[in-house]
Homo-oligomer: A and B are copies of this chain.
């Protein structure tokens, strides 16, 4: 199966490529569409060594050029930065022109209303509507909230090496359930979903387990033996922060944009309760629980044990650096 991917070295793209390279049924022949300026980056060179064909491609170029690159490709995956999904439109048109059999737009996030809950989701809906407008076969894949961005710190500091700056509170009263997935499982889900005829022209929700924030804190206390501080952020306070940042119309590459996205995720998952299998089914998703009842996944408890055992890995390193610099400036 011939597959092309944009964003192969990103946080989501890299776990997808890892899983695709491991897959044997089907076997994927992978093409990484790479910005000309990134061809010499170590992670790109490394991909090449691992059997991924690296091709220079510019999403800002002509659709004809992109279509030529995609000739004969079965599946195209976009795993670009969520703030730049509008840049996908040329790739989508080129995929249509090239006769691509299935296009996977950059979703890979929590379940939310198509419009009005998350700015990032709103932007993705516009992309999906364009796909539908040109009758391009597609599959939308959402994956819930990552364990990795929901890891509270421990008072002892022993998991600070992996905890994110952004995980510093509980949204609302902490009693709203949401679906969680280990980032390390995302690639395996994607590899299976994109080769499944049942998921063509459908939205699929891949997730591991459902927890409330209170339950998640309780579980980490149980496993770590430490007592966690619970800093609740009231729904009204989150809404006020969202309104304040929105009013300033931050650009997609700013710290403010990232902070806005964080608060919107909090509100959608922790207050509105959007990110659940029940709401997903209502919105038309099929879930991986129905599709692949045999499939194994990493439990939240196992993830906590890994992290406490020193086997955790920090995600969004560049984003962490950005936030650290920004906070240092404020201080």
Number of interface residues of A (CB under 8 A): 20
The smallest C-beta distance from A134 to any residue of chain B, in angstroms, reads: 8
Indicate if A24 sits at the interface (CB-CB under 8 A): no
Which residues of A in the span 120-146 have a Cβ within 8 Å of any Cβ on B? 125-126, 129-130, 132-133, 135, 137
Copies in the complex: 2
User: Which of A55-63, A66-74, A86-94, A279-287 lies on the face that meets chain B?
Assistant: A279-287
Residue ID in chain B nearest A113 by CB atoms: B133
> In the bound complex, do residue A283 and residue B114 qualify as a contact, i.e. CB atoms below 8 Å apart?
no
> In the bound complex, do residue A284 and residue B201 qualify as a contact, i.e. CB atoms below 8 Å apart?
yes
Chain A 266-298 interface 0/1 with B at a Cβ cutoff of 8 Å (1 = within) = 000000000000010111100000000000000
Indicate if A115 sits at the interface (CB-CB under 8 A): yes
Indicate if A117 sits at the interface (CB-CB under 8 A): yes
> In the bound complex, do residue A116 and residue B135 qualify as a contact, i.e. CB atoms below 8 Å apart?
no
Q: Among B115, B133, B202, which residue has its beta carbon within 8 angstroms of that of A133?
A: B115
The smallest C-beta distance from A286 to any residue of chain B, in angstroms, reads: 11
Q: Among B125, B137, B282, which residue has its beta carbon within 8 angstroms of that of A201?
A: B282
The smallest C-beta distance from A231 to any residue of chain B, in angstroms, reads: 28
Set of chain B residues within 8 Å of A282, measured between Cβ atoms? 132, 135, 137, 201
Set of chain B residues within 8 Å of A132, measured between Cβ atoms? 113-115, 282-283
**Cα–Cα distance between A282 and B115 once the two chains are bound (Å):** 21
**Cα–Cα distance between A202 and B125 once the two chains are bound (Å):** 18
**Cα–Cα distance between A283 and B134 once the two chains are bound (Å):** 11
Set of chain B residues within 8 Å of A126, measured between Cβ atoms? 115
Set of chain B residues within 8 Å of A130, measured between Cβ atoms? 115-116
Most chain B CB within 10 A, of A117, A201, A281, A282, is at: A282
**Cα–Cα distance between A12 and B132 once the two chains are bound (Å):** 27
Residue ID in chain B nearest A128 by CB atoms: B114
> In the bound complex, do residue B135 and residue A114 qualify as a contact, i.e. CB atoms below 8 Å apart?
no
The smallest C-beta distance from A299 to any residue of chain B, in angstroms, reads: 28
Set of chain B residues within 8 Å of A113, measured between Cβ atoms? 129, 132-133
Residue ID in chain B nearest A125 by CB atoms: B129
The smallest C-beta distance from A266 to any residue of chain B, in angstroms, reads: 17
Set of chain B residues within 8 Å of A281, measured between Cβ atoms? 201
Residue ID in chain B nearest A200 by CB atoms: B282
A-B contact pairs, 15 of them (CB 8 A): A113-B133, A114-B132, A115-B126, A115-B129, A115-B130, A115-B132, A116-B129, A116-B130, A116-B133, A125-B129, A132-B283, A135-B279, A137-B282, A201-B281, A202-B284
Further 20 A-B residue pairs, CB within 8 A, beyond A113-B133, A115-B129, A201-B282: A113-B129, A113-B132, A114-B129, A114-B132, A114-B133, A115-B126, A115-B132, A115-B133, A116-B129, A116-B133, A117-B133, A132-B282, A132-B283, A135-B279, A135-B282, A137-B282, A201-B281, A201-B284, A202-B284, A284-B284
